[in-house]
Each structure stands twice: as C-alpha cells, then as structure tokens.
Structure 1
C-alpha cells in the first residue's frame, strides 16, 4: 500500500492555483469595467446619435453655433465661426469619452495604489469606504480633465459668449447693441444674426427669434439678391426647423437631400447602438458574475488552507 504522502497536495501548488484564480478574476473584472464603460457610452449615444449623424452632413436640429455671413464687417468676423456641427459635436463627444474612460478606470488605479499605504489598506477593507474613495477619485479626475478642456477652448468661447449672451431681453445683448449702432450691416443680415442670437440663448428664445426668422423668409421671397448676403442654407434650414418645425423657403429646401440621407443613416445608427448596448450589458453581467464566483472560490480555498 503506497504511503499517504503520495496523495497529499503540495500547499505551494494550492497557493499558486489561488494566485492564478485571482489573476483570472482581475482580468474578468477589467473586462467587466471595459464592457460597462461601453454600455454607458452606448446609453449616452442614444441621446446624442441624431445630432452626431446630422452634424456629419453639416446639419443640426437646433442652432448651436453662430454663423457670420461674408457680408459682415471685420469687428464681428473676428469672433465668428463657420459652423461645423459634426466636428464640434465630435469634439464634445470625444472629450466625454476621454473623461469617462479616464475617470472610471483611473479611479480604480488610484484606489489600487492607495491600498499600498497601510492607512488606506485598513480603511478600504470596508466596501463602502472603498466606494467612497473610488467616487472621490472619479470626481477629481473628471474635474481636472474638464478644467483642462475649458482652458484649451476658454479664450475663444469667452469672447463668443460675451457677444450673444443676454439675460431676458435680446436688446441687452452686445450683438443687438452693435447692430443698432452700425449702418454698414444690411437689414436681412441683422435679422440673420439676431435670430441666431435668440436661438443660442439658453433656453432658446423662440419669441425673440420668430420675427427675425419671419423677416428672413419674406426677404428671400421678395429679394432676388438674397443669396448674395452669404447666408448658409444649412443654418437657414436649422432656424426654420427650430422655430416653425418645417422648411419654409427654397434656399433652405436645397439641403433636403442631406436631410433625407441623415435621417436614413440615423435609423441604422440607432439600431447599431442598441445592438452594442445589449451585447455589452450582457457581457458585463457575465464577466462580473464569473469574477464573483472565482472570488468566492479563491476565498474558500484560502480559508481551508489557513
């Protein structure tokens, strides 16, 4: 009969097995964090995908940037933009993803390194305190990246907001005061600029925008030189959609093919987002479930060893 030592399990092999289980658990947790982040981004995309797709075609359902036609003078032209809704929204969405990924994952690294300090190692034995530490790290990283984002775009944005900002009366805006004092800007251009100023107000000042958009519509119907003012058809379409909910003039109707293409693509993008959201959510549950099972198993083995 062989000695019992031949059937004994080497404790070192058991410890190596536990280490392997913990490494597997960490990989599953990392996969779970990644798929959870994708799930969150997919949820946000459901609310933003229409603007992103429309922006790809140079359109927007609401006025978000000030367009200055070529007929304005140099004083106004210095603060204006040629609206590129796609790049603007893509930049915003890119910063959102960066902040979300960096804050979500970075907070885990912060907690991990803090646990190497004995004080935090003791504190983070409690799940609640560990979560509070993670949340504080998340907020600090998010705030730092937000400050950096604002710092990069601050100078131009401040000058831009100063021109279009007003409290309750559009006549209090710098744009309205400047246009009332100059004779060099044509009346249709003034209506074009004031309509955008009202729609850029937060919330959109539809009552102030409506008479200016109405004047633009009447001017286009009666003025054969309307296109010479340099108005952007996409911006006219956006203003008419936001104020009246439909296209009112022929120049705005020239973007109809773009609108149809954007609408068709938007429906497909929505289906794709729902697919990614569903798959990532299911995978997140699977990864976290497997990680939890492995964690409990490794704890049971450690308790039996000790």
Structure 2
C-alpha cells in the first residue's frame, strides 16, 4: 500500500457533500472490469451446475487430454475436466477476498475509531498494536496463523484479513481525528450527546468513503495473497479446486502439458486485473483529488 493511496483515502473525509454521479464506475476499462466481475460472480453461483462434468468428477475424459470440443480446456492428470475446475475455482477466490476484506474493515475500523476518538491511553495502546502488526512480514504472519488454526478457506481468509487490518485502522484513525475536530461534533457534545452516539451518527458515516476506497484497492491484494497461500497448500481442501492449488499441482506438467498451468493462471490474472481497475475507478469517483493530481 503506497503512501499516496493512503493520503488520498484520508483526504476523502475532508470533502463536503458534493453532488456525485449515480453510477460510481466510469470509463471503458472500469466498465469492462465490472462486466468481468459480474461474469465471474455468475459463474461462481451457477456455473458448475450448467456444465456436463463436475469439477471433481474423476475420469470425465482421458488423462491429460489437450483442449477439445468435449473438454474446452483439456483434462488434468486424473481425467477431471479443466474448464469445470477453473469455473469452480472462482467461488473460493471471490469468497476469500470478500471475507478477508469484510473482517479487516470491521476490526480495523473499530480500532481506528476508538483510537482516534478517545485518544490518550486508547490511542497509545491500539497504535502500538497496529505498529506491531505492520512490523511483522505479512505472509509470515499469515502462515503462522494458519499453522495454528489449520488450512481451509475461512482460516485463510481470517489470516489475510488480519494482515491488512492495520491499513484500515490507520485510515479510520486519521479520518476520525479529522472529523472529531469539526464544529458539528463539538455542537453534539454541547447538546449532551454521548460519545457512542457521536461515533455512530457523525464519525462512521463521514469516514465511510476513505474506507470504501481502501477496501476496493485491497481486493486485488487479498486475491493475490489467497492464491499464494493456496499455492502453498493452505487453501481449500482437496479435491476442491482453487487457482493456487491447481497451478501448484500442474507444475510438474509445465513443459509437457502447459495448458494445465496457463488456463487457471489466465483466469486468476483477469480476476485480479478486474479488481485493480474497479479499485482505481472507485478511488476516482470517491476522491476527485486523485483525478486532479493524475491530470497535473
């Protein structure tokens, strides 16, 4: 996460309520990204039910068959249809990204708001915790967590969410400090409103934009992290498919049957690129200052 992304996200909290276009994604690349993501979501929900072969069906065709009319992406070493497995791998990829970002945004926002609004002891303690998480190498921390909790989609998502919590915590803390100093917050205090009421009515709604930017930007990062953990064997359990495990199991056939690596890799890269373009579009929509700086 670059300092420019963090600065642009925090700056969003300082803007007034300017009129915005209804459709938050503009531009050819961004609209293509949305279309790709909708296609992936549809494939994740119903794709495997529409195919003639199941993703875990052994002997669906000859072993290591090249792409053909019967098996569009060929078959793997166990005769399983590769296209069905690529489609099946989309669901855990999307679920991992959404679960991890949701977990990180909830916990990180809570930490940031409490630290920024209450200050003093709370700010000192929580800031040290966040600094500690930043100091530990991200993938090392995720692997340590999974070594304790065990493999699986949920555990991998929680481990990835844990390593990106500090990003949301810092954004939430900075934006909370900015909002807490505004006149309408002081007026609410003078009217006798409780701290929790102020946080719920004034702080949280006004820091939602920078948090949304951070979430959109981090989707592609989380997707890559889950694929890496899956490649190392920490993803979904066999025989279920996900991109990382499919690529890992096909390494030995890279020279003789390269399509086993190529097609899952292409599907994964397209998904990551779609998330990247979506994140850029969300940032441009919610933070016009980024457009101004880009055009300068």
Q: Which has the higher contact order (CA 8 A, sep 6+)?
A: 1
**TM-score normalised by the chain length of structure 2:** 0.30
Larger Rg belongs to: 1
Larger relative helix fraction: 1
